[in-house]
Amino acid sequence: MTIATPFALPEAVLTEIANGTPAIQAYRQYLGYSINDIAVTSGLTAEEVDKIESGHRFEKGYRDRIARVLGLPDGIFEEVSNVPGAA
């Protein structure tokens, strides 16, 4: 039996989110990826990634594709969506 443990974002990312940076952008920048890096790897366009980071709501699957590229669990961005500016 495997017991799931909650995923915690690094303190630096949480600080950026608290300062108004959208969650996806904060974690992407923390890892040193560009918008184009995420777009190519996720199969989304750079424009779509930029819009998602800016708070435009796309299908949940789009945010989950970005989460997987960043090595995060699906749904992580919904968990932090109550933070102002989170995408």
* Residue ranges of domains in the chain: 11-79
Q: Which fold has domain 11-79?
A: 434 Repressor (Amino-terminal Domain) (1.10.260)
Q: Global pTM?
A: 0.76
The C-alpha angle 44, 48, 52, rounded to 5 degrees, equals 115
Task: Tell me which residue has tokens 């989950």.
Answer: 64
Cβ atoms 20, 84 nearer than 8 A: yes
Q: Is the pLDDT of residue 86 over 50?
A: no
Q: What is the pLDDT of residues 6-53, one digit of tens each?
A: 567 899 999 999 999 988 999 999 999 999 999 999 999 999 999 988
Tell me: pLDDT of 2 over 80.
no
Q: Which helix (H) or strand (E) holds 37?
A: helix 35-42
